[in-house]
Every structure is written in structure tokens, then in C-alpha cells.
Amino acid sequence: MMNFDTPIARNGTGSLKWDRRSDLDPFWVADMDFTSPPEVIDAIHRRVDHGVFGYAVPHSSLVETLQGYLQERIGYACPEEEIIHLGGLVPALSLAARAFGKTGEKVLTCTPIYPPFLGIHHDASMDLISVNHIKINEQWTFDWQALEDKVTPDTKIFLLSNPQNPMGRVFKDEEITQLASFCEKHDLILLSDEIHCDLILDEKRTPHFSALNLPESLRDRTITLLAPSKTYNIAGLGYAFAIIPNDSIRRRFTAVRGHTLPEINCIAYYAAEAAYKHGEPWRQDLLTYLRENRDLLTSTIRQKVPDANVPDIEATYLAWVDCRSLQVRDPVQAAEDSGLFLSDGKFFGEDRCVRINFGTQTKRLKLALSKFCDAMGL
Ligand SMILES: Cc1ncc(COP(=O)(O)O)c(C=O)c1O
């Protein structure tokens, strides 16, 4: 079992999470306070020791590794030409807006949602339509009626986060199929951001259903976005990839890149390969650790602040806490007053909610939870 319990000092390492507000204890942006798998670190060392860092291409064993990953984990036999290598997923969201939308046309998504989903339409001078998720049988899902009511003839793209950030839902095959059928009916590109799909906390109970698992006729309008960055904690290296099965969609997507994207960093390619090739035992240990942190967080908040609403977290190391039924008016400020730096729900499209990152040492989480519950009980 890997040891995730040892605290690692991250202040002063140029860390967005730790250095943005060094006066506060950070539980916000989605990276974890753990070192990456030793095999990833070794692969980076080997590439660095070579000493020459010229322009890179995705080397053949990386491509084979990605194809192996797609086959084994997602059950998709991916031809090499369908893979588009990227320096990050957020640029891919922006590319899609520019490729498939024009001024005044619409991007559709459901809230609460990872903040860039609510901003990328600006890159194409498009407009945003957002529809709240609804709770049915204690589970957050799509509001099909509201989606039908709000979609317009000039809506071009649906942005999906699956597993869902920030609510930690793993959408079922029926939900994804219904969503893809909705996209077909309204002629939308389905952009499926699956960056968190290897962070499903109980894969037997809530298996991942990728857009790549859709029947071919529906899959043909999808762009699936994947990356090793969240799972193996290498977001700072910048590597992600898109799978685009349809030739003409793929051509439009790559055409808008123009000269806007930098070359992908030569070290990131090797880290990605090592993560997918050798990271599985580490990932299993990580999931065990995260499950315990998730259970600690949900049971503590539900017990101490019963009016706060924490959904069942099926995936990610992020907890969405809805504080709207509490007395506390500004939960983010109240948390800051007690020394904690959390993500503010308003950037996800929902005021008076917070997101807590529990990808950290249990001891540190425990202390933070105690402060958080005290602050929310004010
Ligand atoms: C749903 C989702 N997409 C994309 C990203 C970021 O991707 P990248 O760092 O590759 O741009 C995140 C990071 O938290 C995320 O949660």
C-alpha cells in the first residue's frame, strides 16, 4: 500500500493551490497533495537525464499505451488517427466552441459545473444556455424537460462533464445514451469531458460509461476528452487527448487550432505513458485512500451540519457542499475566516455552495472538516 499519509510541503513550490493565498489552508483547485506514482517520477527523471529538450512528437510507445488504455478501460478499439494530443483539456473546450459555433450561436450545459464550461463560449462570441441539474430519487441527474425547453435551433454544442465535477456523479449508460439522443435530435456536438473517469471510487457499483461506448450512430457526433492529469496528479505537466471518431468533425476541430496552441512538452508525453502503463497499482491504493477521505467528509458534515447538503460522491476527490439551507450567508467567507480556502460555488453557477478538495492527507482533512463544520454552524 502506498503511503499517502505523509504531508508534503508545497508552499513556495510555485503551486497554484498553495501559493495563491498562502495565508489560508488550501482545499480548492483540483490537484492532490500526493506525489505521483514512482514509475511516473522515474520516467520523468530518465527523460530529463537525456538532457536535450527539443520539439517533441508523441512517440510510438505512448500511442500504443493510449490505445491499450482505451481498449482495456473503456473497451474502445481506437485507430491512431482518431487521437488528438493536446496540452490540456480546457483549450480543447475552447477549440470546440470555435470549430462548431459562430457569433450568437449557443453552447448548452448543465450546472453546477466546472467553471471553464461557463466561459469558453466567449472564445467564439457564442452565448451560453445553462440548465440546472435536478435531484430525482436522491440523485442529481439531467432535467430533460428543461433541456428541451431551453435548447434553440442555433444551439451547436453540449458540454458534458462525466464523471461530473463538482457533484461527483457517474452518469449511467441510460443517461448518457438519452443525452446523446437529445444531441442527435437537436443536431448538437456532444463534447464529453471524462478527465475524472479513472477516479471512480467504486467502479463495480458505478462503472464509467464513456461517450465512446455509445452506439456508432450516436458516437459519431462526439468528442471525448481524456487525460492522466487528475488521476496521477500531473496536471502541472500539461497533457491531455481528444478522441474524435468522425473524420469531418476531427478535421474541423484540428483546423481551428491554427497557430494558437503551443507544442506539447516533451516530458509530459513520457509521464503520461508511464502513468497509463505502470500506474494501476498506485491508482488502486489512491482510490482506497480517497474512499476513506470521502466517507470521513460525508459522515462528518452530515452529522455536524445536517442542513448542509452533500451528495453521494461516486467519483473525484471533490465534494460539493450546498449551504443554502444554512444560516450562514456567505459560506466561502465564513470558511476563510476560519482559515480555509475553498472553491466558491458561484463560479460553478451556484451561489452559497462550496467545493472541498479531499485529495489530501486524512489528518489535514480531519482538522479542516472540524473548522468547516464549526464555521457553518455559526
Ligand atoms: C472537468 C474538468 N475538465 C478539465 C479540467 C482541467 O483540464 P486541463 O488541466 O487539462 O485543462 C478539470 C480540472 O479540474 C476538470 O475538472
pLDDT tens column, 101-151: 999 999 999 999 999 999 999 999 999 999 999 999 889 999 999 999 999
Indicate the top mutation candidate among 165, 233, 355 to test ligand 1's pocket, ranked by most ligand atoms within 8 A of CB.
165
Q: Is cis: bond before 112, omega within 30 of 0?
A: yes
Q: How far is the CA of 62 from the centre of ligand 1 (A)?
A: 21
For the chain, the structural domain boundaries read 16-30+280-376, 53-278
- Fold identical between 16-30+280-376 and 53-278? no
Residue 378 has pLDDT above 70, yes or no: no
Asked whether the predicted pLDDT for residue 2 surpasses 90, the reply is no
Instruction: Give the Cα separation of 27 and 372 in Å (integer).
Output: 11
Query: Per-residue pLDDT tens for 153-183?
Result: 999 999 999 999 999 999 999 999 999 999 9
pLDDT for 377: 86
Q: In CATH terms, is domain 53-278 a member of 3.30.70.270?
A: no
Q: What percent of the chain has pLDDT over 70?
A: 100
Atom of ligand 1 nearest to the CA of 88: 10
Number of residues in the chain: 378
**Pocket probe mutation, ligand 1, options 109, 114, 343, max atoms within 8 Å of Cβ:** 114
- Which whole number is the average pLDDT over 366-376? 97
Q: Could you tell me which residue, 138 or 372, shows the higher pLDDT?
A: 372
How far is the centre of ligand 1, averaged over its atoms, from the C-alpha of 90 (Å)? Answer: 6
Indicate the pLDDT class of residue 66, thresholds 50, 70 and 90: very high
Architecture of domain 16-30+280-376: Alpha-Beta Complex (3.90)
pLDDT for 52: 98
Q: Cα of 181 to ligand 1 centre, how many Å?
A: 25
Quote the percentage of the chain above a pLDDT of 90. Answer: 97
**Long-range CB contacts (< 8 A, 24+ apart) of 276-282?**
276/65, 276/66, 276/68, 276/69, 276/228, 277/39, 277/65, 277/68, 278/37, 278/39, 278/40, 279/37, 279/39, 279/40, 279/228, 279/231, 279/232, 282/2, 282/37, 282/38, 282/39, 282/232
Residue 162 and residue 300: Cα distance in Å, rounded? Answer: 26
pLDDT of residue 21: 95
| pLDDT tens digits, one per residue of 199-240 | 999 999 999 999 999 999 999 999 999 999 999 999 999 999
Q: Ligand 1: which residues within 6 Å by Cβ?
A: 30, 88-90, 114, 161, 165, 193, 195, 227, 229, 235, 240
- Which residues does 269 contact at the CB level (< 8 Å), separation at least 6? 56, 58, 59, 62, 85, 239
pLDDT tens, residue by residue, 238-297: 999 999 999 999 999 999 998 889 999 999 999 999 999 999 999 999 999 999 999 999
**Average confidence (pLDDT) over 51-63:** 97
Name the least confident of 42-51, 108-117, 256-265, 339-348.
256-265
Q: How far is the CA of 239 from the centre of ligand 1 (A)?
A: 11
Q: What is the mean pLDDT of residues 346-367?
A: 98
